[in-house]
Amino acid sequence: GENVGLHLPTLSVQEGDNSIINCAYSNSASDYFIWYKQESGKGPQFIIDIRSNMDKRQGQRVTVLLNKTVKHLSLQIAATQPGDSAVYFCAENMSSGTYKYIFGTGTRLKVLA
């Protein structure tokens, strides 16, 4: 897989390869981060989250990495499958003050057979 930032909205990956999707978040006070997957015509679905006291969290075939120094978040998908084709976006949230989420604009992942 190839690293892309949100200024490149589409990532094409061969089936079976690993995918890496990046996100630069905006607020240094954010302490909770979420990755969502949105398939065409559907609402966003939760994939994985991470709190600011961690720098890595693993789920089933997915890993989220958090670098607070540079305010960067990444989602790694192992052995990408056709069903992973979707738009992926990150969200940041603060545990105090406001309950609002700030969403990234998203990256479209295309899985090539």
Kindly list the residues in this chain that would bind another protein in the complex (CB under 8 A). 31-32, 34, 36, 41-46, 49, 51, 89, 91, 93-96, 99-101, 103-106
Cβ neighbourhood burial of 79 (10 Å; 0-12, 13-18, 19+): exposed
Shortest spacing between CB 93 and another protein, in angstroms = 7
Shortest spacing between CB 46 and another protein, in angstroms = 5
Which of 18/103 has CB closer to another protein?
A: 103
- How many other CB atoms are found less than 10 A from the CB of residue 106? 18
Shortest spacing between CB 15 and another protein, in angstroms = 26
Which of 73/106 has CB closer to another protein?
A: 106
Cβ neighbours of residue 88 closer than 8 Å, sequence gap 6 or more: 21, 35, 36, 37, 38, 47, 75, 106, 107, 108, 109
Residues 102, 97: Cα–Cα separation, whole Å:
14
Which of 17/31 has CB closer to another protein?
A: 31
Which of 26/113 has CB closer to another protein?
A: 26
SS3 64: strand
